[in-house]
Structure 1
Amino acid sequence: MLPIRRTLPLALLAALAAPAAQAEVPIDVIGGSEITFEGLLQADANWFNSDFANLNGDPQDGRDADFEMRRAELVLKGKGPGNFEWVVGYDAKADKWLDTNVKYKIGGNGNHYLQFGQFKQPNSLEELSSTKNNDFVAKSMITNTWGIARRVGIGYGYGDANWGVNAAYFDRELKHGLAAGQGYGVRGTWAPINEAGKILHLGLSYVSYKPELSTLGGANLDDTARWRARPGADLAAARLVDTGNLVDADRNTTTGLEAFWVGGPVKLQGEYMRTRTSRGAGRPDFTGSGAYVTAVWNITGETWGYKAGVPTTPLPNEPATGMWQLGLRYDTIDLDDGNLDTSGATPVVTGVLGGQMDTWTVGANMYWRSNFKFALNYVKVDSSRYISAQKRIVEDNPSIVEFRAQFYW
């Protein structure tokens, strides 16, 4: 049996030779529920030009590259009976549940609903957007660090096509040993301009939850938080900025500001997040922050839509030649909340010095027909962090080339 990282590229090549599939493959109508099937396969390759830290996942193999199946998502959806909708999703690569919930549309209105189960929480524009339509291979550092993804809980939403308010109470993920910690979140969005080819979106979100750090052993550490980020590359083994374990943590709170603008084939998007971890036992609180700004141009002229407070990506105008995009992103995160005194023989750290990192990403995407996407990114990193073993601030400025092949239906 071939390793999973080899079988996915072979599956993708086989899929290329098959006729174009349709999104949401219809299965059947059972008990008044119209059932459809969706899927997403992603294969990634990263080539690292490491600087201080070795970014290769396996330092012993002598390579400067990693190749991996990133996602293998299988999703069943149902509409009905009545005003109910349901979804059951599973990622075979990550061995975890995706959206698995039931939604009741109040009055039959999709913008007014109650939701029960596991779903994405109301914060982070980028996290709430569809994974298959990410502008870049890796999400921004603040999204990966502070965005609350899927948790089990209860949610409520109300609004219309131009505005919305969403609130949720949540706990852990369905699978034990992953993200955990009871909390709540709220997000409000407003699109003062929302017409074909012209959109302006503004949003504000806030989440507050109990710190509970997941561990590789399948357990969770109560009252512990840790913030760290990879250098704009999902397959990188090292996190170049890292607070370490923040013990005696009482509460994590994150405030997010978001906006995007669409003018024909151009989209500008940005988010800012500020996170505070309050701590007891006389330990100082920690505050970190970060932001990203992106610009994407559809060379082939397509524009974006707008639904439920997020941008929607169209199909190519010309399926045979595809939709081509060029993108640029500036991404920054600051995990320093302390001071370094080097006046004595031994440096003295007060507070937390998790480091700072900036990245620039240049990317190109091709959406081909209805079911394929190919992405190529170049990432340049500028980071610095105090490393106690070195007794100094270490500059680490690698660069990475990323490629993704994607098949979805």
Structure 2
Amino acid sequence: MKSIQLRGIAAAVSGALLLGAAPLALADSTDDIINALIGKGVLTEEEGALLQKGRAGEKEAAEKKKASEVKASFKDGITWESGDKSTKMSVNGRIQLDSRTSDWSESSSGTEANANSADTFDIRRAYLGVKGTFWDYYSFEATADFAQNGSDLDVAYLNVHWWKEAQFQFGQFKMPFSLEERTSSRFIDFQERSFVNNSNITPGKEQGVMVHGTPFKGINYALAYSTGQGKNTDETDVREDSKDWIAHADANFAEIADIKDAVIHVGASYANGDQPSTKSVSAQRTEGRGVEFFASGALTDDGRSVERTRQGVEGSFAYGPVKLQGEYAMAKYEGQSGVVDYEREIKAWYAEALWLITGESYADSYKGGKYDRIKPKNNFNPKGQGWGAWEVGVRFSDFDASDFTVANSATTGRLTAGRTNEADSWTVGLKWLPNPNTRFLLNYVDTDFDSDVTIGNVTEDSEKSLTFRAQFDF
């Protein structure tokens, strides 16, 4: 035993001396060195095998230790990740502090005509949540909004992504409809979304299941089956199954054709289902989040439910720092009330143009069929070494619910007295991004009503508003 130890020491010394020799100069690992020493006769094969076995054990122990390590980092959120990257979790949130002022008149008593027209500050959103991935293929997210009446569950879902071509999602999440809706409120082009985002036309976050994926480069699809009732609302009608089927597909031809620094996005959406009888059509506010200019009574059907069909098309074309985007969407309601068969439609569209003055590329923020975070070329530095990203934009929107009139019978979509069924709106915006996680937005919104709107004894044919947002997300 002693002779083996002495021989091992001699071998180690000899190995150290031989490291300076040319034949071993190219050895790049411990295993290479051991094999070279065996070849030189410094070590026997038995001794070399023992050393390699020990080395293998050390490697295995090091790999297990690395895989079990948890590393914390910050990248658009506070993230913890396992050493083998199969499991990670992050804490995320956003805060949006808004202010808005409008020219809507006061009533004769000196009070505001309507609460929505009041000049005010507003915590528009205050989200806090967690999301993560376990064992490579199972992702989740649970987020609450503390700005809406105390607290409100925003999303809570599980996404199983065994294959990128076909993923499966379960829970409450954003439905696959409308480019503007699918884009997070953190990254939308203006402070508020357009008239297309009316909940009558565009489904938002709902409870359901969905299969979605990217079967080919630049092509995305989704098919969802939801309650059709909006966020945090279960289906309660035991006699009528009023769930919605929602389908969407889009393609980025710039990605398909390998056109760099560009986005050529086209997409289409379709939804069909029933909504419970006596459910009211959602009201519509101006894009300055001001007065409620459109409202209607409930739609009823003697057959217990009203059929609702929604369709939309979208296009976005960007090259470098310039982007043009537009959408058209409509909803059709069909039902029967007594002997009256009725059909009512709501239509909306918008077109917009934006320019990143500081030269960032919109293509860099586009992924998965929607736009994401813009990263300034140079973050703002108060010492004068960077000014962040600056963007200007203009949008025109149109809303048309002319099928809803005051002459309609009460249960077939009668326009509420003092409201209008058509409006159009211009929005001009300035946006400053000091860094990828902070935004300041200033919007001027000019809305014209097709007919006078009367609220609180005040009658106006338009609304002009100035809005501001300070936002931070992580």
1:253 and 2:309 correspond: yes
Say which of 98, 101, 104 aligns to 2:160: 104
Distance of 1:376 and 1:196 partners within structure 2: 31
CA contact (8 A) 1:51 1:398 kept: no
Which residue in the other structure is 1:359 paired with? 425
Distance of 1:57 and 1:122 partners within structure 2: 42
Which residue in the other structure is 2:267 paired with? 203
Say which of 349, 352, 356 aligns to 1:298: 356
CA contact (8 A) 2:453 2:460 kept: no
Distance of 2:313 and 2:429 partners within structure 1: 24
CA contact (8 A) 2:244 2:272 kept: yes
1:389-408 paired onto structure 2 within 5 Å: 396-408=461-473
1:1-400 paired onto structure 2 within 5 Å: 22-27=75-80, 29=82, 33-50=87-104, 64-94=118-148, 95-107=151-163, 109=164, 111-145=165-199, 146-159=201-214, 160-171=216-227, 172-173=229-230, 175-176=232-233, 182-194=243-255, 195-212=259-276, 222-234=277-289, 236=290, 238-248=291-301, 250-281=306-337, 282-305=340-363, 306-320=366-380, 321-337=387-403, 352-353=414-415, 355-385=421-451, 396-400=461-465
Quick check: 241-250 or 41-50, which moved more? 241-250
Gaps of 5+ in 1: 1-20, 213-221, 341-347
Alpha-carbon distance, 1:336 to partner: 0.8
Q: Secondary structure at the match of 2:101?
A: strand
How many residues are paired up? 364
When normalised by structure 1's length, the TM-score is: 0.81
AA aligned opposite 2:471 = Q
Over 3 Å counting, the alpha-carbon distance change for 1:259 and 1:60 in structure 2 is closer
Quick check: 98-107 or 328-337, which moved more? 98-107
Distance of 2:473 and 2:425 partners within structure 1: 29
Alpha-carbon distance, 1:178 to partner: 11
Quick check: 252-261 or 280-289, which moved more? 280-289
Q: Secondary structure at the match of 2:135?
A: coil
Over 3 Å counting, the alpha-carbon distance change for 1:69 and 1:389 in structure 2 is closer
Larger RCO (CA under 8 A, 6+ residues apart): 1
Q: How big is the alpha-carbon RMSD for the aligned residues of Structure 1 and Structure 2?
A: 3.1
Distance of 1:303 and 1:225 partners within structure 2: 43
Q: Secondary structure at the match of 1:318?
A: coil
Distance of 2:452 and 2:342 partners within structure 1: 18
Larger Rg: 2
CA contact (8 A) 2:321 2:356 kept: yes
Alpha-carbon distance, 1:201 to partner: 0.5
Which residue in the other structure is 2:6 paired with? none
Over 3 Å counting, the alpha-carbon distance change for 1:57 and 1:211 in structure 2 is farther
Alpha-carbon distance, 1:33 to partner: 3.0
AA aligned opposite 1:50 = W
Alpha-carbon distance, 1:223 to partner: 4.2
CA contact (8 A) 2:194 2:350 kept: yes
AA aligned opposite 1:404 = R
Is the strand fraction higher in 1 or 2?
Answer: 1
Distance of 1:60 and 1:173 partners within structure 2: 26
AA aligned opposite 1:309 = G
Distance of 1:169 and 1:73 partners within structure 2: 26
Over 3 Å counting, the alpha-carbon distance change for 1:196 and 1:98 in structure 2 is farther
CA contact (8 A) 1:161 1:307 kept: no
Deviations 1:164-207 (A, max 9, x none): 12100011456348999521100011112224321101111001
When normalised by structure 2's length, the TM-score is: 0.70
Quick check: 146-155 or 26-35, which moved more? 26-35
AA aligned opposite 2:295 = D
Quick check: 260-269 or 305-314, which moved more? 305-314
Q: Secondary structure at the match of 1:123?
A: coil
Alpha-carbon distance, 1:25 to partner: 0.8
Quick check: 23-32 or 76-85, which moved more? 23-32
Q: Secondary structure at the match of 1:313?
A: coil
AA aligned opposite 2:168 = L
Alpha-carbon distance, 1:272 to partner: 0.2
Distance of 1:46 and 1:98 partners within structure 2: 24
Distance of 2:119 and 2:297 partners within structure 1: 27
Which residue in the other structure is 2:66 paired with? none
Distance of 2:346 and 2:373 partners within structure 1: 32
Deviations 1:303-358 (A, max 9, x none): 12322211233210010211100010001110111678xxxxxxx55775551000
Deviations 1:53-76 (A, max 9, x none): 99x996599x95111101011121
Gaps of 5+ in 2: 1-73, 381-386
CA contact (8 A) 1:336 1:352 kept: no
Identical columns (%): 24
Is the helix fraction higher in 1 or 2?
Answer: 2
CA contact (8 A) 1:101 1:119 kept: yes
AA aligned opposite 1:152 = Q
Q: Secondary structure at the match of 1:193?
A: helix
